[in-house]
Structure 1
Amino acid sequence: MSVIIWITEGTWPACVDAARERAETADLVLLHVTDDALPEAAHSAFAGLLGRGRPERDPGTRLEDLSRAAADDLFTAAERRLGRPARRLTLHGRAEQQVVRAADGADLLVCARDGDRTYLGPRSLGPATRFVVDHAPCPVLLVWPDAAPGLGTLPPPPHH
């Protein structure tokens, strides 16, 4: 059994805990996706406006370095919390697209709600997670990163 654990800043502990509790004998993959849009924009701005001939001052390179270091720190913390070996998978691009592609052939994908967590309802999923839940080619375990809100927060039924 292979289980992919999508780790993102802010919600990764719940995903790791859920996988640790439910997939004791599975092959685990920690997945982190980096969106390269910001470093690419910085590279372009620097090359187009400021930095011809001075590549050592390119802020896009610094952003890439910071992003790589943050992902490494996230992997290290997740591995420590998991308490067992897991393969690291780092992808680049639009998170929702990369996560769906990575889940192809997996037995389970673990991810967390990343929207408004103050009440039950559809807005508890951000756009990327909603896309993943709708399009994943495998079963998805969707966890609350904190305690789930009470049933009193359910939205009312639609008025017809």
Structure 2
Amino acid sequence: MRVIVWLVEGTWPACVDAVRAHAPAADDVVLLHISEAAVPGLGHGAFAGLLGRGHPERDPGDRMEDLGGVSAAGLLDAAAERLGRPCSPLDRAGRAEREVVAVAEGADLLVLARDGDRSRLGPHSLGPAARFVVDHAPCPVLLVWPEPAPGLATLPPPPSHHH
């Protein structure tokens, strides 16, 4: 059973725990982190636009690339340790939601966390990236709450039907 786990900073522990709880027999677990390729580019562009080209050694885009790589590796290592069994780390660069869908092709399960307003039940608990992945995933999806789910009292009232 091939399971893809989309790891995002802040919510990844819940995804790893979900694999342990709901896919204990998975023999092929891929821990997936996406480094948004656009972020260091924004740093380079801002530096060139605002500060000119006089001090390329101070370009924040380079520093952002370095930090991105370190945090991705650290996050993948921490997730593998938490999972506690053999797994394959995969760090991809690009638009997160499209990379996740591409990697999920042929998988038996994709695990991801809600990335929107998690204070109440409902569609707003999914941000644009998770919504895209849920809508386009080519395999079954396990969508987890990063913390205990809000109570049923947060459900909106049923629509009133006027006759």
For residues 48 and 149 of structure 2, the distance between their equivalents in structure 1, rounded to whole angstroms, comes to 47
Structure 1, unmatched stretches of 5+, are none
Aligned to 1:95: 96
Aligned-residue offset at 1:91: 1.0
Alignment of 1:133 onto 2:127: no
Taking every aligned residue pair, what percent have the same amino acid on both sides?
Answer: 65
Pick one of 47, 51, 54 that aligns with 2:53. 51
The alignment's TM-score, normalised by the length of structure 2, stands at 0.91
| Letter paired with 1:118 | S
For the residues of structure 1 that align with 2:72 and 2:123, how far apart are their CA atoms?
Answer: 28
Q: CA deviation at 1:159?
A: 4.2
Instruction: For 1:90, give the aligned amino acid.
Output: D
Q: Structure 1, residues 1-34: CA drift from partner, whole Å, max 9, x if none?
A: 1000000011101100011122223200000011
Structure 1 segments of 4+ aligned residues over 4 angstroms from their partners? none
Corresponding residue for residue 149 of structure 1? 150
1:5-16 equivalences under 5 Å are: 5-16=5-16
Deviations 1:84-104 (A, max 9, x none): 121011111111111111101
- C-alpha RMSD of matched pairs (Å): 1.5
Q: Which amino acid aligns with 2:86?
A: P
In structure 1, the residue matched to 2:19 is 19
Q: Distance in 2 between matches of 1:159 and 1:34?
A: 45
Task: With the length of structure 1 as denominator, give the TM-score of the two structures.
Answer: 0.92
1:110 aligned to 2:135? Answer: no
